Amino acid sequence: MLKLRDGIVELYRKVATSLPPDVEAALKAAYVAEKKGSNAKQALEVILENIRLARETARPICQDTGVPLFFIKTPAGLSQLELENTIMDATRIATEKIPLRPNAVDILTDKNSGDNTGIGFPVIYFKETLSNTLTIDLMLKGSGCENMGQTYKLPMEELKADRDLDGVRKCVLDTVYKAQGKGCPPYTLGIGIGASKDQVTRLAKEQLMRRLTDVNEAGVLLKLEKRLLKEINELGIGPLGLGGKTTALGVKIGVNHRHPASYFVDVSLSCWADRRGRLIW
């Protein structure tokens, strides 16, 4: 497990210091699209320069290195307990070496553990598969954008949102409107729809692991993703809330079956630094 531990440390380094190519490409396209001399263009210029410097100096893109969030697909027979312990060891090493900002605070004592480990920290989701391959997806989820996420129970009279995809659309627009620039846009949005509150919050975050360039297999959801991206960018919130054409880079929607009496929607926001990466072992 030592080689795997070191591989996870390097995954941390990659995710913390370098954005995925699709996210960086979308930010560059947004920079070109914004009006010359505008606050939006200047903000994106600073963001792109920050990305370049972080990669060149191997330093974190943002001072808030967030909550480490793992989605792990394990082959049958691999000990999840042993793997969790390996992740904890890798997290301690990464916190010291990269370095990552210590963010794990004990709820009862209000003390920081100092190494990004604690009860339920990092957040780790396991799924056993028939594959012989171990796949580890990591996201560093910043607190500012995490705080701007919302969970909805439809129908919702306040939004005039019914239990349908148009109701979901109204929830997403409501989330972005309330967030304004407080979560450091341009945002990437993950939306989860399903049977229970805990289910949809996980599902929404899983959508943030998708590439911006991927295509939703469900045509009706792909159509909604495109419509929402257009409508969100028409809000004019813009990069860092300074106004402009680019409030979001992408919208990704995932669905699960629901109970006849329930219709839950979770909207999870990532800031412009959608920090994600994968290790295949």
- In tens, the pLDDT along 209-220 reads 999 999 999 999
CB 262 within 8 A of CB 144: no
User: Which distant-in-sequence residues (6+ apart) come within 8 Å of 109 by Cβ?
Assistant: none
The residue whose two tokens read 């991206």 is 229
Q: What is the pTM of this model?
A: 0.95
Q: What is the pLDDT of residues 61-89, one digit of tens each?
A: 999 999 999 999 999 989 999 999 999 99
**Measured distance CA(73)–CA(84) in Å, rounded:** 13
Mean pLDDT of all residues in 273-277: 98
Burial of 158 from C-beta contacts in 10 A (0-12 / 13-18 / 19+): exposed
3-state secondary structure string across 124-165: EEEEEECCCCCEEEEEEECHHHHCCCEEEECCEHHHCECCCH
- The continuous run of DSSP H or E covering 73 comes out as strand 67-75
Tell me, what's the pLDDT at 49?
97
Q: Where do runs of H (alpha helix) occur along the chain?
A: 2-17, 21-33, 39-57, 80-97, 143-146, 165-179, 197-207, 219-233
Tell me, what's the pLDDT at 71?
98
Tell me, what's the pLDDT at 231?
98
**Measured distance CA(234)–CA(53) in Å, rounded:** 31
Whether residue 142 has pLDDT greater than 90: yes
Angle (deg, nearest 10), helices 2-17 and 80-97: 50
CB 236 within 8 A of CB 181: no
For residue 20, whether the previous peptide bond is cis, meaning omega lies within 30 degrees of 0, is: no
Tell me, what's the pLDDT at 191?
98
Q: What is the pLDDT of residues 40-58, one digit of tens each?
A: 999 999 999 999 999 999 9
DSSP conformation letters of 195-236: SSHHHHHHHHHHHTTS-TT---SSHHHHHHHHHHHHHHHTT-
Whether residue 197 has pLDDT greater than 90: yes
Domain boundaries in the chain?
Answer: 144-274
Tell me, what's the pLDDT at 87?
98
Whether residue 24 has pLDDT greater than 90: yes
Mean pLDDT of all residues in 247-256: 98
The confidence band for 1, taking pLDDT boundaries of 50, 70 and 90, is confident
Percent of the chain with pLDDT over 90: 99
Tell me, what's the pLDDT at 117?
98
Rounded to a whole number of angstroms, the distance between the first and last alpha carbons of the chain is 11
Mean pLDDT of all residues in 155-169: 98
Mean pLDDT of all residues in 161-186: 98
Question: To 10 degrees, the CA torsion angle through 128, 130, 134, 140?
Answer: -50
How does the average pLDDT of the chain come out, rounded?
97
**Measured distance CA(149)–CA(59) in Å, rounded:** 27
**Measured distance CA(103)–CA(66) in Å, rounded:** 7
Tokens standing for 1? 């497990």
The confidence band for 167, taking pLDDT boundaries of 50, 70 and 90, is very high
